[in-house]
Amino acid sequence: MNLKQLEYFLTIVEEGQITAAAKKLHIAQPPLSYQLRLLEEDLGVQLMKRGSRKITLTPAGELLKQRAEQIFSLTTATNREMELFKKGNAGTLSIGTISSSSTVIPNQSILSFASRYPNIQFDIHEGNSYEVIEMLEKGVIDVGIVRTPFKKSGLEIRYAKSEPIVAVFPEGQHHGKHKNLIELIELYDQPLIIYRRFEELIHDAFEKEQITPSIRCRNDDARTTLNWTKSGFGIGIVPLSALTAQDKIEMTYKEIDAKELQTQMAVVWKSDRQHIPLVLEFIESFAKSIESI
């Protein structure tokens, strides 16, 4: 078994067909089928069942898929870390960020780090918290900036301070009897635009008040929520830090009066990965900076 065979195997899994995988790999189908057969003979197990339209993984194939993904993740991370060693204090530091992290990245700690190591390049990958954690798992990034709630297993975590989740209203609209605070009862019959990953949190908060929220739109990004809110589609529910200075000018927002509706940003990295000192220095300095936010 070698890395090339594992690459072929994963491509077949991803494409679902040997013909499609061969096309993606720019090789003929017979050599690809031959390599798969060699891999199965080498391991002594059947990895796939060939159907008329799509292959199906056997239990052994499922296990190899997991292990192969881990191997390539580790290979990617190792290559990047070796690049940093080879170039001294140079190379690429890969960071995964969520859309609502714009208030903390870039910040002064990152600017200071860049000043100390002027030959470091920053490779920024953007996504929601689930996607950032998946990039960590695959070794695409060294460190991620995410928001609670998220899956914590296998991660080292440093949290920022808790912040409120707020209700954001289109320009010219006003709801609630208080100037800066709104109660859940004042929102229950209003069309809400929410993060899909906050849905359980929101439903639980409303349920405690024995009311049901009226969800008009679910999405995976703060920017999407705010854009739909600006259009007049409904009331956006976002973390306070997701609002830019321009958003605060264009829209009205109020903190929701519910203790459950709090969230935190966090810096995360893999606990089972050996990071070089330069990466650990970045993590430590950045983590300290967000803990004071």
Range of the domain at 22: 3-67
Give CA–CA dist 45/57, Å, rounded.
Answer: 12
The CATH number for 43's domain is 1.10.10.10
β-bridge partners, 143: 95
- pLDDT at site 50: 80
Average pLDDT over every residue of 131-137: 90
Confidence of residue 101 (pLDDT cuts 50, 70, 90): confident
Total number of domains constituting the chain:
3
If asked whether residues 101 and 111 sit together in one domain, one would say yes
Helices (DSSP H) in the chain: which residue ranges? 3-15, 18-25, 29-43, 59-86, 108-116, 129-138, 199-208, 222-230, 245-250, 277-291
Please check whether residue 283 lies inside any domain of the structure: yes
For 28-78, the pLDDT digits (tens) are 988 888 888 888 888 899 898 887 678 889 999 899 998 888 788 778 777
If asked whether residues 270 and 215 sit together in one domain, one would say no
Confidence of residue 293 (pLDDT cuts 50, 70, 90): low
If asked whether residues 177 and 153 sit together in one domain, one would say no
Residue that is last in its domain, among 67, 101, 122: 67
Contact 207, 115 (CB under 8 A): no
Name the pTM for this structure.
0.65
Q: Is the dihedral of CA 180, 183, 189, 194 positive or negative?
A: positive
Strands 90-97 and 143-147: parallel
Count of alpha carbons within 13 angstroms of residue 262, beta-carbon side: 9
β-bridge partners, 165: 239
Is residue 2 over pLDDT 90?
no
Give CA–CA dist 59/47, Å, rounded.
Answer: 8
Average pLDDT over every residue of 193-219: 92
Closest by Cα among 105, 121, 139, 98 to 225? 98
For 135-175, the pLDDT digits (tens) are 888 888 889 999 888 888 889 999 988 889 999 998 777 67
If asked whether residues 47 and 24 sit together in one domain, one would say yes
